[in-house]
Structure 1
Amino acid sequence: MAHSTAKIDIRKLSLEQLRGHLTDMGEQAFRAKQVYEWLWQKACTDFDQMSNLSKPLREKLNTHFVINAATVLRAQRSADSTIKSSFVLADGNIVEGVLIPAPDRMTACVSSQVGCSLTCKFCATGYMDRKRNLNADEIYDQVVLITGQAQENYRQPLTNIVYMGMGEPLLNYANTLASIERITAPDGLNMAAKRITVSTAGIAKMIKKLGDDGVKFNLALSLHAANDQKRNEIMPINTQNSLAALAEALKYFYAKTKNPVTYEYIVFNGFNDELSDARELAAFCKHVPCKVNIIEYNPIAFADFENAAVDKIDQFAAFLRQKGIITNIRRSRGKDIDAACGQLAIKESAAPSA
């Protein structure tokens, strides 16, 4: 019977699994930890560069395993210094990620899926099909590559990561959490969980699961309307995850984790920009300790929404602040290169690798 010669994707293995493979090859068990550190601490994507391993071991690794690393296909720099990258994956699929520099922070915005299955009416990614979930290592690679861009372009380390790129992280739950484990682990990138924010369009049962799993990272909910009728109109997911269901899930999440929640709210001209809308949002904010990020809308070709007037946004924020709600207005970044919030969509393709 012919034996399969397919190489094993080494980054899909746990440390224990890798140890088993190496001991089966006649290697000493401690070698697994050395290899694991090369993979996850040093983000090495070439076995031949693992310099403290013997040449025969590196040859064995090359024979039996593969590192399916993502690479930068294209990087664009915005007038405001934001850098958007297209990352090509081992199977030829493409996702986008963004480096957002600010005076006090360097933020990586990463994707969790190729495309998205949610059809939010204001988001360019929502007009793409979801092709597949990203693996944990493909999310990790985006962080590593964007970290390199921060160092190379701004001589600054990455300070924050937001899962706000393409896709719905909570519909790729296992890989999202596995990627965060590798990013935060002492034998990984060793980043503090408090510097990571996962953003969801609102899947109540998965928000509860985050509570059950006792996650340490921050949770952001893309709310955009605190009124079921309006939210149904722009976010079809709300029809199965009503505001009442989300409020219950958020209370559960907070009771389990004691983590305050961030609400993201895009103010659309003539849709959700009145003080009555602010009043509904303020009422929703009473459920759990929270803050509100008011986000400028970034127009996309497929939708006819417009950003609300500046004075309307300011009045909206002032109303929330009067109610004692921490409120930030997030000005748009990277709009000129379609890197801003809601603008990520693949306009190019890469030939699938053989």
Structure 2
Amino acid sequence: MKFISIAGSLQYDYNDAQIIKYICTVNEIVEKKEIRNLSIEDLKGLLAVEGEPAFRAKQILEWLWMKSARTFDEMSNLPKALREKLNNRFTINAINIHQSQHSSDKTIKNTFRLFDNNIIEGVLIPTSERMTACVSSQVGCSLSCKFCATGYMDRKRNLDAGEIYDQVVLIDQQAKANYDIPLSNIVYMGMGEPLLNYANVMRSIDRLTAEDGLNMSPKRITVSTAGIAKMIKKLGDDQVKFNLALSLHAANDTKRNEIMPINEQNTLKALAEALKYYFLKTKNPVTYEYILFDNFNDSLEDAAELAKFCRHIPCKVNIIEYNPISFASYTNSEEDKTEAFAAFLKKQGVITNIRRSRGKDIDAACGQLAIKES
């Protein structure tokens, strides 16, 4: 393949002499590109320059996204010479499990090391009904939700689609190895705000659900957002097939502003309008996640405000147990208040579930993911 990297983009040139002259003049070292960031059209163009048939691009993508190849040497149906060229010019920035912790409830938390030595976390959550992978979309987070450990970290960068995909593959392998059961569900509820890494999240879901990917059902995938109104509308425009969950936690702007600063620019009114638009475009109901904090958002008045918000579109509410973190002083609502809150919503016709925490003893539960090592 005859190409050079100019200002971070891929450029083609059929003239060997010009390429050699350019490289010699500027003494540039060509940086290897992550091949999973290329489309099939990109690959076909590169292969055409090399004189390789177009069908090789499909073979390469199948190795990357169907067979989850981590090296070019695994691509056994490619000519050895082509594998060597790919290896010389590209990289597969596969992630690796750095450490795993096992909870008493069989939840497994993983820290994953990325190619640049950044660390993220992802969780395997086994229950009697499903085997779920909770994956991250960013290194850190920029939203600063007061009850979430990740919110106290800096956002270092977005994850590539391949890095999100790798979490699913590794957690699936873990599920089979530990419980002899494959993954059934994926939730984008780990570190980071998925809708602030929109393109990579969408591409990862495409590769997870495509026939030439892992061929998972989009209905088995849930993307959770803290509430970015314009991006929720974009989900509607893109007519997504996966499930959407909104981390609500208060149906009152004053209270939501206090625990979720993102609400100051994405008020409940703005979110309601975005959700109506989303439902109009997709016909998909939405799940509202609601953590009950003791004496903050757990009164029957709070429940009435939530029930009113639920009237905007078809939805259900998952009441979530608060999981303490060292950065915040919130405490979980008492059991009788949780039951009363749920009962009130049900009487108002709101589909309501109480979700119990998983992996709390290893800091793997909702809101507890944060990197503690340097």
Shorter-chain TM-score range: over 0.9
Q: 1:205 corresponds to which residue?
A: 230
Unpaired runs of 5+ in structure 2? Answer: 1-24
Structure 1 partner of 2:146: 121
State the TM-score, normalizing by the size of structure 1.
Answer: 0.97
Residue 366 (structure 2) aligned to one of 341, 347, 353: 341
Residue 62 of structure 1 aligns with which residue? 87
- Matched-pair identity in %: 72
1:25 and 1:97 map into 2 onto residues whose CA distance is 39
Residue matched to 1:269 = 294
Could you tell me how far apart the structure 1 residues matched to 2:43 and 2:144 are? 40
Q: CA RMSD in A?
A: 0.9
Shift of 1:157: 1.1
Partner of 1:352: none
Partner of 1:91: 116
Which residue of 1 is the match for residue 220 of structure 2? 195
- Once residues 275 and 330 of structure 1 are traced to their aligned partners in structure 2, the CA distance between those partners, rounded to angstroms, is 19
Give the CA deviation at 1:56. Answer: 1.6
Question: How far did residue 4 of structure 1 move?
Answer: 3.5
TM-score, L = length of structure 2: 0.92
CA deviation after TM superposition for structure 1 residue 310, in Å: 0.9
Within-5 A mapping of 1:182-331: 182-331=207-356
Inter-partner Cα distance in structure 1 for 2:118 and 2:323? 25
**Structure 2 residue matching 1:183: 3-state secondary structure:** helix
For 2:4, the equivalent position in structure 1 comes to: none
Counterpart-to-counterpart distance in 1, 2:303 and 2:232: 24
Task: Decide which structure has the larger Cα Rg and report it.
Answer: 2
Among 117, 127, 134, the residue aligned to 1:102: 127
Question: Offset at 1:309?
Answer: 0.6
> Structure 1 CA distance, aligned partners of 2:28 and 2:371?
39
Unaligned runs of 5+ in 1: 350-354
Per the TM alignment, residue 8 of structure 1 is displaced from its structure 2 partner at its CA by 2.0
Q: Indicate the residue corresponding to 1:136 in structure 2.
A: 161
For residues 185-231 of structure 1, the C-alpha deviation after alignment (integer angstroms, 9 at most, x for no partner) is 11011111111110000111110111011111111000000011110
Q: Kindly tell me the number of residue pairs found equivalent between the two proteins.
A: 349
Aligned to 1:174: 199
Deviation at 1:3, TM superposition (A): 4.8
Give the counterpart of 1:164 among 189, 192, 209.
189
Q: Of the candidates 63, 79, 100, which is equivalent to residue 38 of structure 1?
A: 63
Aligned positions of 1:19-34 closer than 5 A: 19-34=44-59
Q: Distance in 1 between matches of 2:30 and 2:273?
A: 50
Deviation string 1:41-88 (CA, Å, 9 cap, x unpaired) is: 011011111111222221111112110111100111100000100011
Higher relative contact order (CA 8 A, sep 6+): 1
